[in-house]
Chains A and B, each alone.
Chain A
Amino acid sequence: MPAFTVEMDGAIAVVVFDLPGESVNKFSRAVKDEIAALIGQLRNDATVRGVVLMSGKKDTFIAGADIEEFVAAKTEAAFRTLSREGQKFLDELEAFPKPIVVAIHGACLGGGLELSLACHYRIASNHRKTVLALPEVQLGLIPGAGGCNRLPRLIGLRAALDMILTGKNIRADRALRIGLVDEVVSPAILRSVAVKTAAMLAESPVTRKPRGHWFLDRTRPGRALVFSQARKQVLRQTRGNYPAPLAAIEAVRFSLRHGLSRGLEHEAELFAKMAVTDVSRNLVNIFFATTALKKDPGVPPPAPEPLPVARLAVLGAGFMGAGIAVTAAEQAGVTVRMKDADLARVGKGLKAVSDVIQERLRKRSIDRREAARRIAMISGGVDYDSIRNADLVVEAVFEDLEIKRTVLRETEAVVRPECIFASNTSTIPIARIAEAAARPENVVGMHFFSPVHRMPLLEVIAAARTAPRTVVTAVAFGRSMGKTVIVVRDCPGFFINRILAPYINETGHLVMEGTPLEDLDRAMTAWGFPVGPVTLLDEVGLDVAAKAGKVMLEAFGERLRPAIRIDALVSDGRLGRKNGRGFYRYEKGRKAGIDAAVYGLLGVAKASGSGSEAVAERLSLAMLNEAARALEEGVIRSPRDGDIGAIYGIGFPPFKGGPFRLMDALGAEAVVAALERLASRHGPRFAPAQVLVDHARNGRHFYGD
């Protein structure tokens, strides 16, 4: 079945791209060959005076290259060929003697945008689904089909770098403003305007004024300034862990300096170079894993259909509850009722909801009316009556087993029998809570991370008696809230807090050895985490951390015995960032250096630094080893879930691919050797997980063998 069909509209050939058997249009070699042949025919057809190119899919134009096909290329040479072939086709398109107008409705990403850039005129629909972007850097790549060359020439250097280096989505109105498209029209008239425009361009071609600042975007010294600034900013943000943005800057620089033809050649070189980096491999794997997770119902087949959730109730209007409420309203579009014990707490929750929405209003991502509509979706009160028609009840009350059981009983007394009860506990096993339930099959864990509207991960916890339908409903609803969802087994700490526990604990050991606190943070941010462990403790809250430490000690014994007395800090009134006092001092809500008093409170003398690599090795291996244990115990279903969970849940460095990808890259043998060395030096808490020992012995990997 062909992907392209041609309809004649007067003297204009309307080419419709509709990839058979796929929900979105993707670019592949086969697609490229087909359209190249078609374009060749249209060139020779004297009755055709112009061409309109558009999509036959509902709300996407072209979502980019076919990544499955892309990963099949292995060598640098193969990637270079791939890039050169694409460039060659787009060169032909650009040189096509008749005008080609591209009518863009829906997502126009990566190769789709590069194709559009090679056409002669771009019209976008003013639909909210219409977005344009070059997201290649997010996969550790650079645009390799002329994007680095044509984009700066069209919209100016700075605007082009902004798009290429961030990969962010540009909506139609902004695309028009920066010159990325020539016109924006209603989707209803997109085709007819495109046809008319093509006919017009056949008479007189379009000329465009150059875009951008006369100095910064168009002179050599101005551009040099822009490039050096861009490089500095990239290095600051990536700490040198991601080579693709730098390569993209280089591709653009070379192109503007040496012209289109040599620029394209160089772009292909750099593209191929990036494509074979480990970073890109890891990022592409994360992309696949995330995509696969989106289709994973969360239980083994045959998976039941999820129950529809139109009305959500949230018990507990604290920061967490409010975050769940507002995210559910904004993302999943459900109305929400928040319930708490007294009105003042409900008021605080409504305020927290309003804060999130007001922030969007301030950033102009929504308008005043939309803000009012979102606020109206969430109401609050103290009565149970108002939650009795909820489809899903999420409790985010105080972290105490008895309180949670009471709330569960009270909820079951009023709701419909099919209503699902989800606990947002981070430490209490779901089965313990469900012991109080009349319908334990409806009880599940939904462990969100704070702040809920920003943190992308959700752990759904299937307890022993949780029904599969309950699990799939929690997974589906979490996904509709915009979360990446992993299903984990019911055990203390679930997965995320489980692997954090030894990491934080080892931080404690290092502190007790006198390691300067700032060294700990520096070592782990250099290793790739967005924040170091000391900052993380302050963010999480020292009271919460102390409590979690006790739970983990109780569950896992000696190896997780806390090394430092966080209690001493808590009783000194240090709760972390939330009250402006923790390991760090805070001034006006901003971190203002380590508080030296902490050493005294913990009874340690600050020693000189112990070396960044040694610190990073101990901390990271503590986490990797625990991840392996969790997999061995079936806490997570697969290494994939573990990698995605660690990356989205705690900011595990994506360029390392996740704990399991990293262990595979290091090799089980090396990991075991390092753990044994640490165990002999620091104690049996470093004893390697059995699965690692087995893998080391058999030369196996977590992935793909």
Chain B
Amino acid sequence: MNVPNGRRVAIISGCRTPFAKAGTVFRDIPAVELARHAARELIARTAVDPELVDQVIFGQVVPSVLVPNVAREVALLPQFPRTVPAYSLNRACASSAQAIADGFEQIRNGLADVVVAGGVESLSDVPILHSKRFAALLVEASRAKSPWQRLRILAKTRLRDLVPVTPAIAEPSTGETMGQNAEKMAKENGISREAQDRFAVRSHHLAAAGHADGRLAAEIAPYFLPPDYERIETSDNGVRADTSLEQVATLKPVFDRKYGTVTAANSSPLTDGAAAVLLMSEDRARALGYRPLAFIRSYAVAAVDPGEQLLMGPAFAVPKALDRAGINWKELGLVEMHEAFASQVLSNIQAFESKRFAEEKLGRTRAVGEVNWDTLNVMGGSISIGHPFGATGARIATTLANEMARRDVPFGLISICAQGGMGFAMVLERR
């Protein structure tokens, strides 16, 4: 997809908050603060002149009703001039990947030179809604002409109207939750409990190693917790170095208690966190003396029927992105797959490696590629590190770009499944 006259887009650096299980250390920190922290640290660490930033793009899946455009609040950090435009977007779990893709498009087409792209999620800070009937009564009461009238309207409230509505992670079109569908995928694709558990344990051990040797720590901006600033979060609290196959095997399946295989241990946890990357046109990066970690070569998005296998989007998006990049799977030196569920990762890998899937679903004669386990999710993934929906894409891009620079590999792949049956893939290159 190298458009004529398109400009190359560099990933200069990435930075994120620690990822924390929802309801733990970031319980009292609003999402907007997490997002601002990641962006402020990115600015500090790259020492980029904030005056040069043309656009701030942030992804968020469940925005607060009080801060509907979180990106603008990030751009209104005192470190930025007040004049940096910003927007927030939602492509479900691929939101911050999409923010990076948007930044890529704008820079490539000459509409911007420097973009801060990121994402945030706080599942400790989700909006709780009133019931429809109660909300309607409140609106009606607010329009009342007299206190008496207001009281009469509110008197119509019934006890069950007061039960709040909490948002579920269910597909609006099918009513099925993501976990239920992951369970369905495990069964239909024949992914065993043991394979899932083994993958989950691998994720934890690799993430723990990444923390221990400082590679993951390097991308984390320590979070000083107000009001005392004594507690300082420096790592992801979901990672368990000491976990084992035996331990994981003891967990009961969540979505099908009798015949199921998907457990809390082989799924990604609800997580709070934010991540951001700094994108620049190649020319600007060179002029400012930056040494880019990687360049964005291509990306692609695909969607499947959410009623079928909901999380198979990557199996369709990845070959598209590789085609657009003009490379083969074999040329990939590193692959980062978002781990929503072990069953989902393994199902997609199965599809990548399947000649039949390629023929039937992709209209190709050969399988997309064979996974090299030495280069897949080399520092774990969402199961261990955690998965703040809106932040995961930028987290993965950061991890991948850093590791590509360390290993000096020519190509790397990002693959993310997203709610609504969508899949997102992006190819990074180094040259």
Contacts and interface: CB of A to CB of B under 8 A. Distances in A.
Contact of B79 (A335, A347, A351): A335
Given A346-B232, A373-B78, A381-B45, 4 more contacts: A348-B229, A376-B79, A386-B45, A389-B47
Nearest to B46: A385
Contacts of B227: 354, 358
A376 B77 contact: yes
16 contacts: A335-B79, A337-B44, A343-B224, A343-B234, A344-B232, A346-B232, A348-B230, A350-B229, A351-B228, A351-B229, A358-B227, A376-B77, A377-B78, A381-B41, A381-B221, A387-B47
A140 interface: no
Contact of B230 (A351, A376, A379): A351
Interface of A: 335, 337, 343-344, 346-348, 350-351, 354, 358, 373, 376-377, 379-381, 383, 385-389
Contacts of A344: 230, 232
Contacts of A379: 40-41, 44
B234 A376 contact: no
Contacts of A347: 224, 229-230, 232
A321 to B, nearest CB: 14
B298 to A, nearest CB: 31
B224 A386 contact: no
B36 interface: yes
A388 B46 CA distance: 9
A386 B77 contact: no
B45 A385 contact: yes
B222 interface: yes
A343 B221 CA distance: 11
Contact of B47 (A343, A358, A385): A385
B49 interface: yes
Nearest to A358: B227
A381 B45 CA distance: 10
Pairs of residues from A and B, 9 with the lowest C-beta to C-beta distance, nearest first: A386-B44, A389-B47, A347-B229, A351-B229, A350-B229, A377-B78, A388-B47, A343-B232, A347-B224
Interface residue SS majority, chain B: loop
A71 B40 CA distance: 53
B226 interface: yes
A258 B230 CA distance: 63
Contacts, number: 55
A343 B232 CA distance: 7
B36 to A, nearest CB: 7
A386 B79 CA distance: 13
A555 to B, nearest CB: 39
Nearest to B226: A354
Nearest to B222: A343
Contacts of B222: 343, 381
Contact of B49 (A351, A383, A389): A389
Contact of B45 (A343, A346, A383): A383
Interface in B79-108: 79
Given A347-B224, A389-B49, A376 B78 contact: yes
A254 B46 CA distance: 68
Interface in B214-268: 221-222, 224, 226-230, 232, 234
Contacts of B228: 351
A383 B226 CA distance: 21
Given A335-B78, A343-B222, A354 B41 contact: no
A444 to B, nearest CB: 23
Interface string B360-400: 00000000000000000000000000000000000000000
A380 B224 contact: yes
Contacts of B48: 389
B232 A381 contact: no
Contacts of B232: 343-344, 346-347
B305 to A, nearest CB: 44
A381 B227 CA distance: 17
A286 B47 CA distance: 43
A347 B227 CA distance: 10
Nearest to A383: B45
Contacts of B49: 389
Nearest to B48: A389
A532 to B, nearest CB: 35
A378 B230 CA distance: 16
B45 A350 contact: no
B44 A350 contact: no
Contacts of B226: 354
A269 B149 CA distance: 66
A459 B405 CA distance: 47
Interface string B107-135: 00000000000000000000000000000
B86 to A, nearest CB: 16
A436 to B, nearest CB: 23
Interface in B31-59: 36, 40-41, 44-45, 47-49
Nearest to A385: B45
A388 B49 CA distance: 11
Nearest to B50: A335
A346 B44 contact: no
Contacts of B77: 376
Contacts of A351: 228-230
A346 B79 CA distance: 19
A350 B232 CA distance: 11
A593 to B, nearest CB: 32
A344 B231 CA distance: 8
A373 B76 CA distance: 9
B117 to A, nearest CB: 20
Contacts of B78: 335, 373, 376-377
A358 B77 CA distance: 19
Contacts of A377: 78-79
A665 B41 CA distance: 57
A377 B76 CA distance: 11
A343 B233 CA distance: 10
B44 A376 contact: no
B17 to A, nearest CB: 13
A346 B47 contact: no
Given A347-B229, A354-B229, A376 B224 contact: no
Contact of B40 (A354, A373, A376): A376
Contacts of B40: 376, 379
Interface in B302-331: none
A381 B224 CA distance: 10
A354 B77 CA distance: 17
Interface in B188-222: 221-222
A389 B232 CA distance: 25
Contacts of A358: 227
Nearest to B40: A379
B229 A376 contact: no
A39 B228 CA distance: 61
Nearest to A333: B78
B48 to A, nearest CB: 8
A381 B44 contact: yes
Contacts of B230: 344, 347-348, 351
A386 B45 CA distance: 5
Nearest to B228: A351
A350 B77 CA distance: 17
Nearest to A415: B47
Contacts of B44: 337, 379, 381, 385-386
A385 B229 CA distance: 22
B71 to A, nearest CB: 16
B36 A346 contact: no
Contacts of A373: 78
Nearest to B233: A343
A343 B234 CA distance: 9
Contacts of B41: 379, 381
